[in-house]
Amino acid sequence: MPAWLLLIVSVPPQPSSLRVRTWRKLQALGAVALKNSVYLLPFTPENYEQFQWLTQEVQKDGGEATLLKVDRIENMKPAEVVRLFQDARERDYRQLTERYRKLLRSLDRKAPPTRAARRDEELARFARELERIREIDFFDTPGSQEVQRLREIVEMRLHPPAGAPAAGHAEMPLDSLRGRRWVTRPRPHVDRIASAWLIKRFIDGEAQVLFAPPEEFPADAIPFDALGAEFGHEGEDCTFETLLKRFGLLQRRLAQLAEIVHEVDLRDQKFHRDEARGIDLAIRGLLAALKDDHEVLAHGMTLFDGLYAAIGERK
């Protein structure tokens, strides 16, 4: 476990600007409050230097500040200290997640050019905020994954690839894609798992699904659910819905399954499926428990086999 930096701060009530400035600086550094006026950071040379500068600033302006480096906090387990930081960053990620979701919901409405430009500005601002949070996310808080997922969805919606097929294109014959390799991004959540299930069960029973960063996609593989992929988000549709339409898969059960996948993936309130939260939690559990993406997919295939069967049993 890391060593810790403790900054004990006491600032006079006036001028209030000193108190506000100190608080903002602590927030920007990612420090958490251990007790009243006691702030904590994991030790790194950079954090140590930043706390030293803040100590000097507070003292220069008439306040008191004491900086300590300790190897443990006696009445707390190391995991409890780490949790303080993760809880703080989780709140940051949650707020940014809601902002991305609000922007995503607005994309379904036709916007004038001025509004489209503002959306690009919003997206750039959100991206800067995400990078800022990541810089002070010292312990890899899980909430960052959901923000990144929504960021990629919004970017695919706002800036589809130049060669992407337009809505209303002709259906593709299933026999045109047999025994191919398909590739998508690592750490698959619902849309990628559901799309891989659809590919292997209904499009290409001999398909091989690969996981790789987009810059490492094999040239001979068919990319899906990635920025610039032919099979990705189109209009209001998630990748699973795009695949259904592109291959003319019109089964009632698949349509109902698509509503569930859409609800979990986009959360745009287009569909209200009671199953969505449970599926979301189940897949998050798989990702938390399994480090191998192929194992995640194998369990996800079973999950969607069960969902498909259960939908078929409904009267």
In the chain, how many domains are there?
A: 3
Is this prediction's pTM over 0.85? no
The reply to whether 152 and 225 lie within a common domain is no
Q: How many residues does the chain have?
A: 315
Shared-domain flag, residues 261 and 132 = no
Q: What is the pLDDT of residue 2?
A: 75
Distance from C-alpha of 80 to C-alpha of 24, rounded to nearest angstrom: 24
Residues 308 and 184 both lie in one domain: yes
44, 70, 96 - which closes a domain? 70
Tell me if 165 is assigned to some domain: no
Claim to verify: residue 261 and residue 224 sit in the same structural domain: yes
pLDDT the model gives residue 269: 75
For residues 14 and 115, state if they share a domain. no
Given pLDDT bands bounded at 50, 70 and 90, which one contains residue 292? very high
Query: Mean pLDDT across the chain, nearest whole number?
Result: 88
CA–CA distance, 77 with 39 (Å, rounded to integer): 17
For the record, the structure tokens of 144 come out as 């960052």
Domain of 296, in residue numbers:
174-313
Enumerate residues 6+ apart whose C-beta is below 8 A from 237: 245, 262
On whether both 245 and 134 belong to a single domain, the answer is no
Confidence category of residue 305, pLDDT binned at 50, 70, 90? very high
Report strand pairing: 181-184 vs 222-223: parallel
| Residue 182 within a domain | yes
- The answer as to whether 287 is a domain residue is yes
Higher pLDDT, 98 or 1: 98
Question: Is position 256 within any domain?
Answer: yes
- Model pLDDT, residue 164: 45
Domain shared by 309 and 179, yes or no: yes
Q: What is the pLDDT of residue 166?
A: 46
Q: Which of 180, 219, 214 is nearest to 200 (CA)?
A: 180
**Same domain, residue pair 297 and 231:** yes
Paired residues of 69 in beta bridges: 5
- Residue 204 and residue 295 in one domain: yes
What pLDDT score was predicted for residue 13?
A: 82
172 — pLDDT class (breaks 50, 70, 90): low
| DSSP symbols for the chain | ---EEEEEEE--SSSHHHHHHHHHHHHHHT-EEEETTEEEEE--HHHHHHHHHHHHHHHHTT-EEEEEEES--TTS-HHHHHHHHHHHHHHHHHHHHHHHHHHHHHTTS---HHHHHHHHHHHHHHHHHHHHHHHT-TT--THHHHHHHHHHHHHHHHS--TTPPPTTPPPPPGGGS-S-EEEE-SS--HHHHHHHHHIIIII-TT-EEEE--GGG--TTSEEBSSTT-SBS-BTTB-HHHHHHHHTT---HHHHHHHHHHHHHHH--SS---TTHHHHHHHHHHHHHH---HHHHHHHHHHHHHHHHHHHHH--
